[in-house]
Amino acid sequence: MLSNIFTVSFFVSLLASTIRLATPILLPALGQTFTQRAGILNLSVEATMTIGAVAGFAATFFSGSLWLGILSGMVFGMLYGLFMAILSVTLRANQVIAGITLNILGAGLAVFFYRVIFGIQSLPPQVEPFKMLKIPFLSDIPFIGVIFFQHNIIVYLAFIMVIVTWFILEKTTFGLKIKAVGENPKAADSKGISVNKYRYIAILIGGIYAGAAGAFMSIGYLNIFTESIIGGRGFIAVSVVIFARFLPIRAMWGALLFGVASALQLRLQALGIDVANQLMLMLPYALTIIALVLASKKAEFPSAYTIPYSRKER
């Protein structure tokens, strides 16, 4: 029986969908790497993604353009990030409370607008999602081709963003400033770096990445919008960042871990393995949490993590 299941083609399709399923974790995690490096813990990523999913879906539904959908997800993700920025940076609110509040608000807003735009229909409206983009030649390599080079364009872009994010954080003045305002905002300030400006930017970048990932869910991974479309991925992404010790490349491994667990769950379920459905659904989350707990012990948080900055305070 087992030998029937664990065939080569099983593994190939498992790994291919691992990469696909890692994408909506990877993107927001990369965005939150910026945000958290700047000292802001934004717990409203989940809602931001849901908003991105609605915005992307609606834009694509009415314009027919998938790219407009992604763009719309990014714009609305950023706008929703603005709320977090105002609350946590300008008003210096407690970040955990601000994040949780915005999470509840955002989930409500997303569904509200979906209803306003589409009404209540017996069959959910659908769009034509991103098509698989086979990379010439590479996709023809046996096994490897299927695993790595037969995805839609957003998946490729997400993985390219790992390198881009790493490069920005490690090699540019912008990245250094982002890290500085999270590490020692007072020092950054005394060197003429506007702490508030860079924290705003870091939060907005996080919003853009999350919005894009939300749109990916509704027009890249699925072709519809549902209330629970994000399904906790936003929260997983937030913790992946910590698990990854705020490093983009490690964040990719974290996302892939979640991806492989999700893929395994789907495969095994499809094969009709006789385990309670609910338990199977838990698998990716449970695995991720265990990994996080084990790995994040060693995490060295940015020194000013979750601490609002004011020049006046000593």
Ligand X SMILES: Nc1ncnc2c1ncn2[C@@H]1O[C@H](COP(=O)(O)OP(=O)(O)O)[C@@H](O)[C@H]1O
- Site membership for ligand X, residue 298 (CB under 6 A): no
Min dist CB 30 to other proteins, Å, is 19
- Whether 45 and 233 have beta carbons less than 8 Å apart is answered as no
For other proteins, which residue of 172, 273, 286, 293 counts as binding (CB under 8 A)? 172
Q: H-helix or E-strand containing 133? A: strand 132-134
Count of residues in contact with ligand X, rule CB under 6 A: 2
- Site membership for other proteins, residue 37 (CB under 8 A): no
Gap between the Cα atoms of 132 and 139, Å rounded: 11
- Site membership for ligand X, residue 312 (CB under 6 A): yes
DSSP letter string, 112-139:
HHHHHHH---SS------PPEEEPTTGG
- Site membership for other proteins, residue 313 (CB under 8 A): no
- Site membership for other proteins, residue 115 (CB under 8 A): no
Binding region for other proteins (CB under 8 A) out of 52-60, 124-132, 171-179, 204-212? 171-179
Q: Which is nearer to ligand X, 297 or 312 (CB)?
A: 312
Min dist CB 300 to other proteins, Å, is 7
Residue 294 contacts by C-beta under 8 Å, 6 or more apart in sequence? none
Q: Which is nearer to other proteins, 131 or 311 (CB)?
A: 311
- Whether 100 and 36 have beta carbons less than 8 Å apart is answered as no
Q: Which of 18, 30, 10, 19 is nearest to 208 (CA)?
A: 30
- Whether 180 and 193 have beta carbons less than 8 Å apart is answered as yes
Q: What is the largest CA-CA distance in the chain?
A: 69
Triad 180, 24, 147: Cα angle to 5°:
115
- Site membership for other proteins, residue 174 (CB under 8 A): yes
Q: Which is nearer to other proteins, 4 or 173 (CB)?
A: 173
- Site membership for ligand X, residue 310 (CB under 6 A): no
- What is the phi/psi pair of residue 138, to 5°? -60, -40
Binding region for other proteins (CB under 8 A) out of 63-71, 181-189, 200-208, 226-234? 181-189
Q: Which residue is nearest to ligand X (CB)?
A: 314
Binding region for other proteins (CB under 8 A) out of 37-45, 81-89, 169-177, 224-232? 169-177
Q: Which is nearer to other proteins, 65 or 172 (CB)?
A: 172
Bridge partners (DSSP) of residue 134 are: 150
Q: Give helix 45-63 / helix 95-118 axis angle, nearest 10°.
A: 20
Q: Which is nearer to ligand X, 186 or 245 (CB)?
A: 186
Using CB under 8 A, list all residues that contact other proteins.
171-174, 176-177, 179-180, 183-184, 186-193, 300, 303, 311-312
Which residues are near ligand X by CB under 6 A?
A: 312, 314
